[in-house]
Every structure is written in structure tokens, then in C-alpha cells.
Amino acid sequence: MLTADFDNITVLTAVNPDVFAGYAHGPIPDNNLGWKPIAFTTAIAGSTRKYDIKAANIVANPPPNQALVLNKENIGVYDILVNPPRQMCGMVLLDRPSMRRHIRHEHSGALVMPDCRAKRREDIISAHNAIKRWILQLGWQNASYVHGPSRGPDNSLVGFWCDTLERIA
């Protein structure tokens, strides 16, 4: 990778969220902070200690405010704001089922549940440009996380590009 990959106009003008693909990195506002579907609140108000929120619960009882779209290509960390204006969740995204479960349980009204279609080439390109721009502008380096990843999951895009930037700096 060359320096040119980082200061080309496409990276410098990258937007996040992309109007179609969604957020590639945070901070992602939670427009329904603390919201849970009725099925959950009903179960917890009764004798149930732990209720597994299902996607159908959220579909049946959608949150009041607009949920946002996470790009399927993203930095690999939950960049959802949990303590606005700055502090984000910071848990690392694992496999798709546990990712969906974490979103349903911890950020129930924040994100549109991702569909099962594969990510598109446009999703990937817009995400890579947005993440590069975020690293260049020190957004990643200054990010504040409750669960505090130091650099995201192994082999993450952020780790890769941070290393690259250190080498070319």
C-alpha cells in the first residue's frame, strides 16, 4: 500500500454514513436509547429474569424513532453511542448470529436489522474510503469506548490501515 491510497480525493471526500450503505464507523447515534420491545418489558415485569429478544419482537413493536443502517462492511466494533456525545459501545463484532444478538439485546432500537444478502461491492468501497478518512482525521485514535477495544478485532480493517499509516508516516 502506498501513501497515495490515503490522500486521494475519494478518501478525502468520503462520507459516513453513506446514504445507501449506511455507517461504516461511528459514532452512530442511538435514536432509541434504552428502548426495548414490549415482549421484553412484559416478560421482565413478570417472573422472567432473562428474556431472549427476538427479531420478530422488534418487527411487531418497532421503536418510535428511526433506526439507522450499519454498513455490512464496517470497522468490526460496535460504534453505537451509549453515553452521548462521545462514548461508544466498543464491543467487537463476532460472527453474524452473535452480532445480531448483541444488537437486539443491547441496542434494541439503534439499528435496522441487517438482511441476509451479501455485502455489495459498493458497500465495501464506501466503507473502506470512510474508514481511511476516519483514521486520517484521527477519529479512530480519539474514539472513546465503554468496552475499549485497543484496535478492533484481529485482522480488522482498522488494524491493517493503522499499521500502514504508521509505516508511511
Residues at the contact surface with Zn ion, assessed by CB under 5 A: 78, 89, 91, 106
Enumerate residues 6+ apart whose C-beta is below 8 A from 84.
29, 33
Q: Among residues 5 and 106, whose Cβ is nearest to Zn ion?
A: 106
| Minimum CB distance to Zn ion smaller for 102 or for 151 | 102
Which CB atom, from 34 or from 46, has the smaller least distance to Zn ion? 34
Smallest gap from residue 89 Cβ to Zn ion (A): 3
Find the shortest distance in angstroms from Cβ 35 to Zn ion: 14
Of 91 and 143, nearer to Zn ion (C-beta) is 91
Check the CA dihedral 92-110-107-144 and report its sign. positive
Distance (Å, rounded) from C-alpha 64 to C-alpha 23? 20
* Bond into 64 cis (ω within 30): no
* Burial (CB count <10 Å: 0-12, 13-18, 19+), residue 17: middle
Cα–Cα dist 83/86, whole Å:
7
The residue number whose beta carbon is nearest to Zn ion equals 89
For 94, which DSSP code?
A: -
Shortest distance in whole angstroms from residue 105 CB to Zn ion = 9
Query: Nearest distance from residue 91's CB to Zn ion, in Å?
Result: 5
Residue 17 beta carbon to Zn ion: minimum distance, rounded to whole angstroms: 18
57/90 with CB nearer Zn ion: 90
